[in-house]
Amino acid sequence: MNRLIIASNRLPVSIQWQNNSFLVFPSAGGLATGLKSYHKNNNSLWIGWPGINASNQNEEKTITGLLLKEACLPVFLSQDLVEKFYDGFSNATLWPLLHYFTEYTEFKGAYWEAYQTVNQLFADAIIANAKEGDTIWVHDYQLLLVPQMIREQRPDLRIGFFLHIPFPSFEVFRILPWRLEIVNGILGADLIGFHTFDYARHFISSVKRLLGYEVDFNKISVGNRHVYIDVFPMGIDYKKFEQRAIEIQNKPMHERSKEHQDIDRFLLGAPNRKLILSIDRLDYTKGIPERLHAFRNFLNKYPEYKEQVSLIMLTVPSRVDVEQYQNLRSEVEKLVGSINGEFGTINWNPVIYFYRSLPFENLIELYSSADIALLTPLRDGMNLVAKEYIASKVNHRGVLILSEMAGAAKELGEALIVNPNNVDEVSEAIYKALTLSNQEQVKAITAMQERITRYNVYKWAADFIQMLEKTESRQAAYQARKVSAKHKNQFKHQFAEAKSKILFLDYDGTLQRFYNNPKDAIPDNDLVSLLNELSLIKNTELVLISGRDKNTLNEWFGKKDYTLIAEHGAWIKTGNQGWKARNTSHSKWKENIRPVLEFYVDRTPGSLIEEKTNSLVWHYRKVDIELGALRALELKNDVTNLISNQDLELLEGSKVLEVKVAGINKGNAALEYLQDKKPEFLMAIGDDWTDEFLFKELPDETITIKVGTDKSVAKYYVSDYQEVRELLKTFY
């Protein structure tokens, strides 16, 4: 059977050395706990770091044996690699940067080298275990290079990638010195998943700005394949939390955890006291000090709630050896002490503070008992704690206060959504939560439960895998049009056998690469030689059909013995004959259109205007990619209104907008050229929308080839101008 191979930094279980033996324990963390249920119930192999360093081969063998029983396979890392890859590049470079904490970001070459090394180790482990037909699912920011590393060696595999933390805006991401390598690494996947549309949008923006790839909604054209971007908000194992919460409700207090018994003692003499629950890993992204400031503000603004409410703050230890985290812990503990000292009484502590991790059942106890969950991270990819709290409220009573910066806020709209940096807003949300009626609580909790019940972790994983499988069929249909070696041999044979042949070839983007300044696209020696050879082939007519103005084409090819069609068909020149206008037209319309284009040139740095006999062209190839797209849309709307009652039309090309006389296009120019000609071999190659007229108008038997991966009526496609040249060279 085909398998699913999951790869992540940490496995769903970890190995620990206790009592002179290796033991298996569940791993902490959202990904490990969230996907573990799906992994157990499916035919999958999970590859990751076991959480411990093996000192010899015997230990490695023992650890591997234990993990194989859990359908897991270890990637062993040395202590030095762990420090530089995990503590270094992953958590001192990527983690703060992707969460917008640029002031904490460290850029060290040694970290980057270790990151590359570990990603290659993971890729090698996956490749060594992947069989034909297997699906690979790579997870999170520690393994951003792995998809492309796999792609390079095993292009036959389906590869998915999911990022579980935020992807920042381009202005933040561009700070990273290795941004190109990271983006290219991710683009090795067939399907890339994010928790929210914002993260997906930021990633697509970075791809466009850094690499200039064409993007069609959620599809990125990368070389000769398509990469799909989609949004999959991660769910939880809902039934697991719900069922355990039901069991705990009837559990006697003396059988509950020490933490819960401690909390119960705080409630003695105040059975109606409300409990606010705060659970987070101790990390600067979680907004814990800000939360405490908001709680203090609440107690000051609403003194009537003194001795009526307590904040249970559970912070899970994290990176205890790192100075930033040590300082954060110290700050949190000082704030807790300060608040308790200022407001506390003999019978009441405003903040009940725990610095420890808790087993699953103890967490459920806290979820079940808390009247309010206060979860206000400054940045968070998803925040599954919010969903776990909702799932545990089997009595449908409780209130969730959630940061708008958490991915879960996009789904849990019935929660009280707050800006975690706004102390007053969070304070008011606490007050509102305490005064919310039972009916309102039930309504909100029920709506959120219905939603996260439907889209649980199984549905999330199944949807991702199903979408990944769909990309395979999409790629197959797409690849069927790719000009392959077989197609090249077929075209070569047809060309050789034909007694008469005609080649229609566009110039920019087809025979020559694009330049920021169109005047720089002068034909190089290789291209000149290619065209000369083609024109010398017996019974072959070579036609350069371009949007270029006739003066430029005449300067470059005027003395050549082949046909030139300029300005999308407005002018034609055959051999040594002079230029002939196909359609004469007055140019007074330019007086109305030129000021509009000049207005956009003034507002759009890098753009320019080109004037042709029958058209005006606005070029924006040198413009910032997103500004260019915005201005092009604005200009398109303005010009469309201006030319609605005139004999003019607007053409969209590759980073150009052209206003031209209607009825002049490459299609009708080619048909006019073909009048009374019946070639046995006919081929047309072009790269943009102006060439679609050519592809549509030519006879059905024409071999039409699109350069690039955009939608086209052409029968075939090639990736770039270099492939065009290679194809044409096979004809001589």
Helix (H) or strand (E) holding 243: helix 238-249
**Calculated CA dihedral for residues 596, 598, 599, 604, nearest 10 degrees:** 130
**Stated length of the chain:** 732
pLDDT of residue 261: 61
- pLDDT-based confidence at 32, cuts 50/70/90? low
- The per-residue pLDDT for range 438-471, each reduced to its tens digit, is 999 999 999 999 999 999 988 898 899 999 999 8
Q: Which residue has tokens 């046995």?
A: 680
Distance CA(519)–CA(681), nearest Å, equals: 33
Phi, psi dihedral angles at 372 (to 5 degrees) = -135, 140
Which amino acid would we find at residue 185?
A: G
Distance CA(248)–CA(245), nearest Å, equals: 5
Residue 682's DSSP bridge partners are 502
- The per-residue pLDDT for range 156-188, each reduced to its tens digit, is 899 999 999 999 999 999 999 999 999 999 999
Distance CA(565)–CA(674), nearest Å, equals: 13
Q: Provide mean pLDDT across the span 555-566.
A: 93
pLDDT of residue 620: 93
Residue 138's DSSP bridge partners are 7, 161
Distance CA(705)–CA(412), nearest Å, equals: 48
pLDDT above 60 (res 57)? yes
- pLDDT-based confidence at 254, cuts 50/70/90? low
pLDDT above 60 (res 67)? yes
Cβ 658 vs Cβ 547: under 8 Å: yes
Which residue has better confidence, 629 or 387?
387
25-34, 37-46, 66-75, 670-679: the lowest-pLDDT one = 25-34
Which amino acid would we find at residue 89?
A: F
- The per-residue pLDDT for range 186-231, each reduced to its tens digit, is 999 999 999 999 999 999 999 999 998 888 889 998 977 899 999 9
121-125, 191-195, 668-672: the lowest-pLDDT one = 668-672
- The bridge status of strand 563-566 relative to strand 648-653 is unpaired
pLDDT above 70 (res 355)? yes
pLDDT of residue 264: 61
Dihedral (CA of 602, 603, 608, 613) sign: negative
Phi, psi dihedral angles at 536 (to 5 degrees) = -85, -10
- The per-residue pLDDT for range 382-434, each reduced to its tens digit, is 999 999 999 999 999 999 999 999 999 999 999 999 999 999 999 999 999 99
pLDDT above 60 (res 269)? no
**Structure token digits, residue 648:** 């003019």
The whole-model pTM stands at 0.81
Which amino acid would we find at residue 724?
A: V
Which residue has better confidence, 95 or 16?
95
**Structure token digits, residue 403:** 């940061």
Which amino acid would we find at residue 381?
A: G
pLDDT of residue 253: 60
- The shares of helix, strand and coil residues in the chain, as percent rounded to the nearest 5, are 45, 20, 35
Positions marked active-site: 506
Which residues of 386-514 form beta strands (DSSP E)?
Answer: 399-403, 416-418, 501-505
Which of 390, 321, 312, 322 minimizes the C-alpha distance to 358?
A: 312
Report the percent of the chain where pLDDT is more than 90: 73
Which of 239, 269, 456, 274 minimizes the C-alpha distance to 364?
A: 239
Distance CA(531)–CA(525), nearest Å, equals: 10
Residue 355 backbone zone (phi > 0: left; psi -120 to 50: alpha; other: beta): beta
Which amino acid would we find at residue 445?
A: I
Distance CA(124)–CA(118), nearest Å, equals: 10
pLDDT of residue 256: 62
* pLDDT mean across residues, the chain: 91
Q: Which residues contact 183 (CB under 8 A, 6 or more apart)?
A: 206, 207, 210, 211
* Residue 309, SS3 per DSSP: strand
Domains of the chain, start order: 4-231 (3.40.50.2000), 238-454 (3.40.50.2000), 485-583+663-729 (3.40.50.1000), 590-661 (3.30.70.1020)
Which amino acid would we find at residue 281?
A: R
**Structure token digits, residue 173:** 């991401």
Q: Provide mean pLDDT across the span 249-260.
A: 64
Which residue has better confidence, 321 or 440?
440
- pLDDT-based confidence at 266, cuts 50/70/90? low
Exposure string for 170-181, b = 16+ CB within 10 A, e = fewer: bebbeebebbeb
pLDDT of residue 528: 96
Distance CA(136)–CA(355), nearest Å, equals: 37
Which of 525, 527, 568 minimizes the C-alpha distance to 724?
A: 527
